């Protein structure tokens, strides 16, 4: 940190600006006097900084508030049209991009094929996707404030470095720098599950909650961690690899090179492998090729299909119970494409959580299953940029130091 008087003044002003911006974001339309009361800042400071925020189009004046006998106060609110943000979810063969306003409301979305999966090819394709999304803006000269990118793997977010990508076989790729050189705006890169945690923190079920976990179920099983209001990335971006916790030593060989990982028993590909084995043994009437087909077999009353989901739900619930026992969160949010399995998966999961969580901790936590589509992943990536816009400089510094 800069300890010079000038540096300290700039930091204090940045903190005050963030405090005021978040007060407006949290409270909705609010008069300047109320901002001063809530933040403890002087009316002169509030007036000066809100004037800057209005000039930057981040805040706008709207209809006057209720009067207590004098002049009606002028209300301030976040200007959702003051800028736009692009969020991109990168998958194995395509990327899904979302254009949002400053409240993460979706303005447009686009899917883009990824034919060249080299780092150069991906960075080029993503920059082309950004250009396509900007064409969807009603503003002929949209103010792009940044690009957020979420992808599977170990990502050192502070450096914008993809340390390991299971999809593309990358190691230590400076993806942020490569994209930023093409789009000429700030770019933020993180693990895709962490991007969902950002979206939940700022705009979803994690809003106002200082301790919560996001567990995603689908092709893999991932974890986003918010502890004491801060995002936990681990030392170099590897925190949250719950899918690669070993639940059966010496079990099935995982793509990570270990045996017995949770993903080998509770992810959607694992369920389809188990279904293929059950079909070969004559336990299923047909061979399901998609998760939806397996769900349909369970719904039609085929016991083997129901048992596949039940066992996966039990293992998932045991793992989540371990997380609750370790982190003592207020809330666990479960989402991802795997939530389409519904009660076949989640009734056994909840029962296992109840059975394996310490009684004194179970009562503290709520379990929410959220059916989210691919749009949510892309909006989550957009929230990486919004996080930088709204977050306190002190919190950003602490998160960087923790990382």
- Shared domain for 215 and 327, answered yes or no, is yes
- Retrieve residue 144's tokens: 């792009």
- Retrieve residue 202's tokens: 């700022």
For 176-209, the pLDDT digits (tens) are 999 999 999 999 999 999 999 988 887 788 988 9
CA distance 164 to 113: 21
For residue 376, what pLDDT band results from cuts at 50, 70 and 90?
confident
Tell whether the model's pLDDT for residue 335 goes beyond 70.
yes
- Shared domain for 265 and 353, answered yes or no, is yes
Contact 85, 146 (CB under 8 A): yes
Buried residues in 37-66 as b, exposed as e (16+ CB within 10 A): eeeebeeebbeebbeebeeeebbeeeeeee
- Shared domain for 110 and 72, answered yes or no, is no
CATH of residue 150's domain is: 3.30.420.40
- Shared domain for 242 and 161, answered yes or no, is no
Tell whether the model's pLDDT for residue 152 goes beyond 50.
yes
Q: Say which range, 33-42, 226-235, 356-365, has the weakest mean pLDDT.
A: 226-235
- Shared domain for 167 and 194, answered yes or no, is yes
Tell whether the model's pLDDT for residue 248 goes beyond 70.
yes
Average pLDDT of 72-90?
89
Contact 149, 192 (CB under 8 A): no
CATH of residue 71's domain is: 1.10.10.10
CA neighbor of 192 nearest in space, from 175, 209, 211, 177: 175
Tell whether the model's pLDDT for residue 144 goes beyond 50.
yes
Contact 84, 137 (CB under 8 A): yes
Tell whether the model's pLDDT for residue 398 goes beyond 80.
no
What's the CA angle centered on 77, arms 73 and 80, to 5 degrees?
Answer: 155
Q: Say which range, 274-278, 304-308, 361-365, 383-387, has the weakest mean pLDDT.
A: 383-387
For residue 226, what pLDDT band results from cuts at 50, 70 and 90?
very high
For residue 5, what pLDDT band results from cuts at 50, 70 and 90?
very low
Average pLDDT of 358-372?
90
- Which of 23, 53, 78 delimits the end of a domain? 78
- Shared domain for 382 and 397, answered yes or no, is yes
- Shared domain for 331 and 259, answered yes or no, is yes
Average pLDDT of 309-331?
97
Tell whether the model's pLDDT for residue 232 goes beyond 70.
yes
3-state secondary structure at position 137: coil
Tell whether the model's pLDDT for residue 316 goes beyond 90.
yes
The pLDDT value given to residue 214: 96
What's the CA angle centered on 147, arms 208 and 169, to 5 degrees?
Answer: 105
HEC-encoded secondary structure of 199-263: HHHHHCCCCCCCCEEEEEECCCEEEEEEECCEECCCCCCCCCCHHHCECCCCCCECCCCCECECH
- Shared domain for 156 and 294, answered yes or no, is no
Average pLDDT of 18-40?
89
- Shared domain for 214 and 344, answered yes or no, is yes
Tell whether the model's pLDDT for residue 395 goes beyond 90.
no
- Shared domain for 349 and 210, answered yes or no, is yes
CA neighbor of 375 nearest in space, from 322, 334, 335, 318: 335
Average pLDDT of the residues of the chain: 89
CA distance 218 to 337: 5
For residue 11, what pLDDT band results from cuts at 50, 70 and 90?
confident
3-state secondary structure at position 93: coil
* Cα-trace Rg, the chain: 23
> Beta strand 221-227 with 84-90: parallel, antiparallel or unpaired?
unpaired
Average pLDDT of 134-146?
85
Domain containing 20 equals 5-78
Domain count, the chain: 3
Q: What contacts 294, CB < 8 A, 6 or more positions away? A: 271, 272, 275, 288, 305, 308, 309
- Shared domain for 309 and 245, answered yes or no, is yes
Q: Say which range, 119-123, 131-135, 372-376, has the weakest mean pLDDT.
A: 372-376
CA distance 324 to 361: 7
For residue 64, what pLDDT band results from cuts at 50, 70 and 90?
low
- Model-level pTM greater than 0.75? yes
- Which of 78, 97, 112 delimits the end of a domain? 78
- Which of 78, 102, 133 delimits the end of a domain? 78
The pLDDT value given to residue 229: 86
CA distance 315 to 300: 24
For residue 33, what pLDDT band results from cuts at 50, 70 and 90?
very high
Tell whether the model's pLDDT for residue 6 goes beyond 50.
no
- Shared domain for 17 and 138, answered yes or no, is no
The owner of tokens 């816009």 is: 389
DSSP string, 311-323: HHHHHHHHHHHHH
């Amino acid at each position: 940190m800069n300890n010079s008087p000038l540096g300290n003044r700039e930091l204090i002003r940045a903190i005050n600006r963030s405090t005021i911006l978040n007060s407006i974001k949290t409270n909705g339309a609010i008069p300047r006097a109320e901002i001063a009361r809530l933040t403890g800042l002087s009316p002169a400071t509030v007036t000066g900084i809100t004037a800057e925020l209005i000039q930057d189009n981040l805040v706008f004046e709207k209809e006057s508030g209720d009067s207590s006998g004098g002049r009606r106060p002028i209300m301030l609110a976040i200007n959702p049209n003051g800028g736009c943000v692009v969020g991109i979810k990168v998958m194995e063969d395509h990327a899904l991009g979302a254009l949002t306003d400053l409240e993460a409301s979706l303005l447009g979305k686009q899917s883009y094929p990824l034919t060249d999966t080299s780092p150069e090819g991906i960075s080029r394709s993503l920059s082309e996707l950004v250009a396509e999304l900007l064409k969807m803006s009603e503003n002929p000269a949209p103010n792009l404030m940044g690009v957020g990118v979420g992808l599977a793997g170990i990502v050192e977010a502070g450096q914008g470095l993809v340390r390991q990508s299971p999809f593309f076989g990358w190691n230590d790729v400076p993806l942020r720098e490569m994209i930023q050189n093409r789009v000429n705006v700030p770019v933020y890169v993180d693990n895709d599950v962490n991007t969902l945690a950002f979206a939940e923190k700022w705009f979803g079920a994690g809003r106002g909650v200082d301790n919560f976990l996001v567990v995603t179920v689908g092709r893999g099983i991932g974890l986003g961690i918010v502890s004491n209001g801060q995002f936990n990335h681990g030392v170099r971006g590897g925190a949250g690899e719950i899918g690669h916790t070993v639940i059966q030593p010496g079990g099935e060989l995982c793509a990570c090179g270990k045996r017995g990982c949770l993903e080998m028993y509770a992810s959607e590909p694992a369920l389809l492998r188990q279904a293929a084995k059950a079909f070969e043994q004559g336990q299923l009437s047909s061979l399901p090729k998609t998760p939806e087909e397996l769900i349909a077999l369970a719904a039609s009353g085929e016991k083997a299909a129901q048992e596949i989901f039940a066992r996966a739900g039990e293992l998932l619930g045991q793992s989540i119970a371990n997380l609750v026992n370790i982190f003592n969160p207020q809330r666990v949010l479960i989402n991802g494409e795997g939530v389409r399995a519904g009660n076949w998966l989640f009734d056994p999961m909840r029962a296992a959580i109840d059975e394996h969580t310490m009684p004194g901790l179970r009562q503290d936590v709520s379990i929410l299953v959220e059916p989210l589509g691919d749009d949510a992943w892309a909006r989550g990536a957009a929230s990486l940029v919004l996080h930088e816009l709204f977050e306190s400089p002190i919190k950003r510094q602490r998160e960087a130091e923790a990382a």
